[in-house]
Amino acid sequence: MASLARPFTLRQTCLSISRSSLPRTTAPGISQIVAFHASTKKNILPPLPQTIQGTVNDAAPVPKPHPSEGSYHWTFERLISAGLVPLTIAPFAGGSLNPVLDAVLCSLLIVHSHIGFQASITDYFPLRRVPKTRKFLTWVLRGATLGTAVGLYEFETNDIGLTGAIKRVWEA
């Protein structure tokens, strides 16, 4: 019976605390104190500059076309993603482990991963706000992609390969 009354008592206690007259400040610039709130608001990054360049009636600037951006880039990403589906199924459906097919699968996996992480860096670290961090992370990504490519190459040439390893793990 005590376990049934305990949640009711706890709920009544919380309601009475939240309704009690906690000290509240109304001075400008000072936030109000809320029940059970003890932390302060800390900005990790300062806000972006709040300036408007030009007038309201100016057209948005159109960037110069570049083959590695825009629709070409989007089409290339989709072709790689769509190509990964049959390449992942083919070695297991066919029953044979072909080293050329395995090498193509590894290459597309590396390119697909690189493009995905590059998009994340572009989205979450804008160039105008954190240019040094973005450049550093881009070089880290390039190094990780190169390291992954070398590691998969060694695994393909000196060991059983990616699809062979997946097949062994699947049958274990």
For residue 20, give both structure tokens: 């009690």
Q: Are 88 and 105 in contact (CB under 8 A)?
A: yes
What is the distance between the alpha carbons of residues 163 and 92, in angstroms, rounded to a whole number? 8
- Count of all residues that appear for the chain in the document: 172
Residue 17 DSSP code: H
Is 72 marked as binding a ligand?
no
Is 112 marked as binding a ligand?
yes
Tell me which amino acid residue 22 is.
L
Binding residues for a ubiquinone: 124
Binding residues: 112, 124
Binding residues for heme b: 112
